[in-house]
Amino acid sequence: MFQKAANFFKTTFRSLKYRNFRLFWFGQCISLTGTWVQQTAQTWLVYSVTNSPFKVGLVGVAQFLPMLFLSLFAGVVVDHFSKKKLLVLTQALFLAQAVAMTLLTYTHIIQYWHILLLSFLFGVTQTLDMPARQSFFIDLVGPENVTNAISLNSTIVNLARIIGPALSGVLMMKLGATACFLINSVSYIPVIIGIMMIRVNEKQSVTYSRNMLPEISDGMRYIKKDKTLVADVLMMTVVCTFALNNDVIIPVFAHEYLGRGIDGYSSLLAAAGVGAFSAAILMAYRSSKGVNKRLLVISSVAIGLLQVSTGITNKYIFNLIVVALIGFCNLIFLNTANSIFQTNSSNEYRGRVMSVYSFLNLGSTPIGNFLAGAVMERTGGDSGYLFCGWTTLILLAVVFLITRREISKWFRKAL
């Protein structure tokens, strides 16, 4: 039994044998918890001040709008400059944004437009940070362990989603939102130090053109030639736009549909984090077997069905379990999609390919946040998941029809 447990941990956490990845991973453990502490406090602060689901959605739009328009350009930058230096820069900018939120709330001069502006600046920074971060994994652990590294990174992202909202709920009730923003500010210091201690030999392109459009077009043609990447792109477009809107839906869903306050809101976020964390551990363990593309299809359908099932009843425990399962399937979907992008791209195009992943993962969020917020504003907190779930299932059926030959290959190989 002890041998089996030892083998499980050795297989699941094998990327931690690399010093560079350990420095990055442990720094992220602290920083991402702080990020979720702030995100939870900020969302609840906006909703409690404005009492408007639509305005909550607009904050999401402001944060993710830069990703929609700038992520492809960011991919070109990542392919030509040191990812390590870019990550130090982005973490410093995140730190500045958190400090600004701390000062504005501490002095009691915070206004809705301040949050919109700072969310937009956060989004601009995130647009550069995400493709740099995602394409940096292969430099930390090598191509043979990149899928495991992605999964382990997902474990800390989702562990932070469990700890962060719970901690934020306690801090807001005891000390107020300022304490949440201060903790996030401090949390960026360890990750900056960790990244600066990393030693890697990065390979950047020696040619750089001020005109980025031809390079973006070249990256798009590269993706278009690979049918697996095309299917991945289409499914991500649907799921990331319409299904991944928890940040906007959950506070309204908790208050209006379930009749809960900050405790219910933070508990639902934590439940989604528990589900995603469990899936991340599972994916890290089975990463040695390679990428299972079928999971992309199965998890996407499951997400839509689970969201629709929230309309069955407004019982709190039932929906807490459903939200946890949604978190589980969300992680499997995004982890599989990420791994497909990583393993089907060359070093020359990895930054641009991962910028497309970033564009789809977060760049489509303004559209989904806007639609989910607008629907709930008109029809109530119970309609967010129902609208997103049904829309996801209908559009996935269209994607499956378009890519049926490629998808059928994924399932035939399993037989």
The pLDDT of residue 309? 94
Is 11-197+212-412 assigned to CATH 3.30.930.10? Answer: no
The pLDDT of residue 6? 66
The pLDDT of residue 206? 45
Mean pLDDT of 333-347: 82
Other Cβ atoms closer than 10 A to 209: 11
The pLDDT of residue 189? 92
**E strands along 99-215, which residues?**
none
113 compared with 56, residue with greater pLDDT: 113
Q: DSSP for 213-279?
A: HHHHHHHHHHHHT-HHHHHHHHHHHHHHHHT--HHHHHHHIIIIIS---HHHHHHHHHHHHHHHHHH
At 399, is the pLDDT very low, low, confident or very high (cuts 50, 70, 90)? Answer: very high
| pLDDT at 96 > cutoff 90 | yes
- Cα–Cα distance between 83 and 96 in angstroms, integer? 20
- Cα–Cα distance between 353 and 321 in angstroms, integer? 35
Threshold 0.85, pTM exceeds? no
Q: What is the pLDDT of residues 206-262, one digit of tens each?
A: 445 556 777 778 778 888 888 999 999 999 999 989 998 887 888 888 888 888 877
CB of 12 closer than 8 Å to CB of 278 = no
CB of 72 closer than 8 Å to CB of 364 = no
Mean pLDDT of 316-343: 90
388 compared with 51, residue with greater pLDDT: 388
The pLDDT of residue 202? 62
CB of 44 closer than 8 Å to CB of 260 = no
In terms of DSSP H, where are the helices of 15-111?
A: 19-50, 53-80, 83-106
Q: What is the pLDDT of residues 271-308, one digit of tens each?
A: 888 888 888 888 877 777 777 889 999 999 999 999 99
